[in-house]
Amino acid sequence: MADRRPFIAGNWKMHKTVPESVETARKLVSLVGGVSDADIMIAPTHVALAPVAEALAGSNVALGAQNLFWEREGAYTGEVSAPMLASAGCRYAIIGHSERRQYFGETDEKVNRRIRAALDGGLTPVFCVGESESEREAEKTFSVLDKQVSDGLKGFVADELSSLVLAYEPVWAIGTGKTASSAQAQEVHQFLRGLMAKKLGKDLAQSLRILYGGSVKPDNVAELMAMPDLDGALVGGASLKPEVFSEIVKFKRKQSS
Ligand code: 13P
């Protein structure tokens, strides 16, 4: 069995001003300082990245961006590149989040370019996939995920993806309080790991961390993380309060020790 290190990530989405972000990051650092057996990441808004990086310096909490553009630099008004994010202190970049797919015209092809750019720029992609409620009801979950993964990772070989983190976020469970049951999540995570094995080999699939996202809270994280193919959580709403997010982070630590 692969020994996959737990990964607990907070996606702050479009929340918090710069001072609020810095204060939240500081509080979080003081609450999770003792956690040594999980990777922890927070993704504030772009404008808060550099000051939050300062607040996280020397801590066990890593910084991530919520998106990036695939070119390195140039006349692309309003965009931010992977090297820029890395220079602000980011180690990770969330890519292909369903909110970007839903509201900002994100396609699998663009996701593919962003993943390539993240890796070229020295960032670890946290690649998000997930089906909508109607797709699940129409029993298209597996075919939708197959397409998102296949097209998102088109042209990559296993060696390039050793750092990749995959996140399964069923759209119907995001911000709704409607979590996937642990059995539903496990079924999909197992499918995704099998798909990765088929496409990129068993070794990569076994070491790949697959996070679950969608209404993760301190009171449901236990049951979810007990599943064999769930290696962590991508947390939205519950990551905004450091006291609540740290409970999620610490639960994982208790479980794995
Ligand atoms: P919630 O935890 O608010 O459901 O959001 C999940 C998510 O989209 C994380 O990226």
What are the tens digits of pLDDT across the range 163-217? 999 999 999 999 888 888 999 999 999 999 999 999 999 999 999 999 999 999 9
Q: Let me know if 79 is a catalytic residue.
A: no
What is the pLDDT at residue 126?
98
What is the pLDDT at residue 34?
93
Of the CATH numbers 3.30.565.10, 3.30.70.20, 3.30.70.330, 3.20.20.70, which one belongs to the domain with range 7-30+41-256? 3.20.20.70
Which atom number of ligand 1 is nearest to the Cα of residue 234?
9
What is the pLDDT at residue 253?
52
What is the pLDDT at residue 38?
93
108-141: buried (b, 16+ CB within 10 Å) or exposed (e) per residue?
A: bebbbbbbbbbbebebbbbbbbbbbeebbeeeeb
Ligand 1 pocket mutation pick from 215, 217, 244 by most atoms within 8 angstroms of CB? 215
How is residue 151 written in tokens? 């097209």
- Nearest-angstrom CA–CA distance, 230 and 233: 8
Q: Residue 74 Cα, ligand 1 centroid: separation in angstroms?
A: 32
C-beta of residue 99 within 8 angstroms of C-beta of residue 13: yes
C-beta of residue 93 within 8 angstroms of C-beta of residue 82: yes
Residue with tokens 């003792």: 34
The ligand 1 site (C-beta within 6 Å) comprises 11, 97, 169, 174-175, 213-216, 234-238
What is the pLDDT at residue 252?
55
In terms of pTM, does the model score above 0.85?
A: yes
Q: Let me know if 169 is a catalytic residue.
A: yes
Q: Residue 100 Cα, ligand 1 centroid: separation in angstroms?
A: 13
Residue nearest to atom 2 of ligand 1 (CA): 236
- Nearest-angstrom CA–CA distance, 55 and 48: 11
Question: Which listed residue (99, 106, 169, 189) is catalytic?
Answer: 169
- Nearest-angstrom CA–CA distance, 93 and 131: 21
> Domain segments of the chain: what residues?
7-30+41-256
Which atom number of ligand 1 is nearest to the Cα of residue 239?
2
Q: How many CB atoms lie within 10 A of CB 4?
A: 15
What is the pLDDT at residue 2?
59
Q: Residue 235 Cα, ligand 1 centroid: separation in angstroms?
A: 5
Dihedrals phi, psi of 206, to nearest 5 degrees? -70, -35
Residues with pLDDT less than 50, the chain:
1, 255-257
Dihedral of the CA atoms 114, 120, 121, 126 (nearest 10)?
A: 50
- Nearest-angstrom CA–CA distance, 132 and 138: 10
Distances (CA, A) of 8 to 38, 60, 79, 81, 227: 7, 12, 27, 24, 15
